[in-house]
Amino acid sequence: MFKRPAFLIITTIAALLLFVAVGFFAQSRFNPIPQIVASTTASTEKKSFPSIPTDALSSDQQKIITILKQEYETQPNGTKYSEGIEEPWCADFVSWVYNQAGVPLKNPNSGSWRIPGTYTLREYYEAEGKFQPASTGYVPKVGDIMLYDNPSPFGQHTNFVIAVNDGTITTIGGNEPGGIRIVEHTNPDTVGFLGFGVL
Indicate if the alpha-carbon torsion angle 30, 31, 34, 36 is positive or negative: positive
What is the C-alpha separation between 47 and 183, in angstroms, rounded?
Answer: 9
- 18 CB-side CA count, 13 A: 6
The pLDDT tens digits for 159-183 are 999 999 988 999 999 999 889 999 9
What is the C-alpha separation between 23 and 85, in angstroms, rounded?
Answer: 33
Q: H-type helices in 75-176, by residue range?
A: 90-100, 118-127
Residues in the chain: 199
Phi, psi at 147, each rounded to 5°: -120, 135
Q: How confident is the model at residue 30 (pLDDT cuts 50, 70, 90)?
A: very low
90-100 helix and 59-74 helix, angle to the nearest 10 degrees: 130
What is the C-alpha separation between 178 and 163, in angstroms, rounded?
Answer: 20
Phi, psi at 2, each rounded to 5°: -70, 140
Name the residue ranges covered by the structural domains of the chain: 31-197
pLDDT for residue 155 is more than 90: no
The Cα angle at residue 153 between residues 86 and 167, in degrees rounded to 5? 115
Q: How confident is the model at residue 192 (pLDDT cuts 50, 70, 90)?
A: confident
Average pLDDT over residues 18-44: 48
Average pLDDT over residues 109-135: 96
